[in-house]
Amino acid sequence: MELVSDISLIRGEEELFDRTAHLFVAATDIACAADDLYTWALSRPSLTRQGERLVRDKRIRKLYRPGVLLNEQTAQHLHRLSGLGAQIRIGTEEINETILLDERVAIMAGDEGKEVRSYSVISRPELVQGILSLFETAWLAAATLETFDARFADIRGETPQILEFLTTGRKDDQAAKSLGMGVRTYQRRVSELLVALGVTSRLQVDARARELGLL
């Protein structure tokens, strides 16, 4: 099925999948920016299986926020894709869920908070090139998966306990003692965790951790 317009607004994942699945299969260059792994594409097992099977025949670039590395399962998934040939980078800047196919079609996700999420499917060349330029800028500023994963390897093991302390209001000195570290070390770990979660305040930790499936 071909897109009937160079800018199409689609409501819901069912319609989006019906309209674009063939584009994913045919594409040889796929660029994806997402806050986490739980995108609409990953909710489609058939599309995910095809993507993993064909990744060696495509140029795949995936850009994520650091939060994906706090969950052991999602971190392993990224390393598996990397092993198949996908290029994966981690950036700290906020990004909108976007997919670019062969630099000709862009799919941009709408507000996740709405009951039925909307998606814009864009094929107008000048708009696609603008979106591609934003992606390339974020891509160049991001670090490789290996670099970021090494940085967060230690904190990933401590994440469950630190999240529990933060969401239950445990004092820093008590939390640090429970983890067998100094208060300054604990506070540094908390700061690193906030960066990984993509939040700026401890008050935001609970909601964000639940979004990522960490609580």
In this prediction, residues 184-196 reach a mean pLDDT of: 91
pLDDT of residue 180: 93
Which residues make up the CATH 3.30.870.10 domain(s) of the chain?
7-146
Is the pTM here over 0.75, yes or no? yes
Indicate the length of the chain as a whole number: 215
Q: Tell me: the pLDDT tens digits for 36-60?
A: 765 555 545 555 555 555 566 789 9
7-146 maps to which CATH number?
Answer: 3.30.870.10
| CA 204 vs CA 163, 166, 200, 209: distances in Å | 11, 10, 7, 9
Is 3 or 161 the better-scoring residue by pLDDT?
A: 161
Q: Tell me: the pLDDT tens digits for 117-159?
A: 889 999 999 999 999 999 999 999 999 998 888 877 778 788 8
Asked: is 150-211 a CATH 1.20.1070 domain? The reply is no
Which residues make up the CATH 1.10.10 domain(s) of the chain?
150-211
Q: Tell me: the pLDDT tens digits for 54-98?
A: 566 789 999 998 888 887 788 888 888 888 889 999 988 888 899
Band of pLDDT at residue 1, cut at 50, 70 and 90: very low
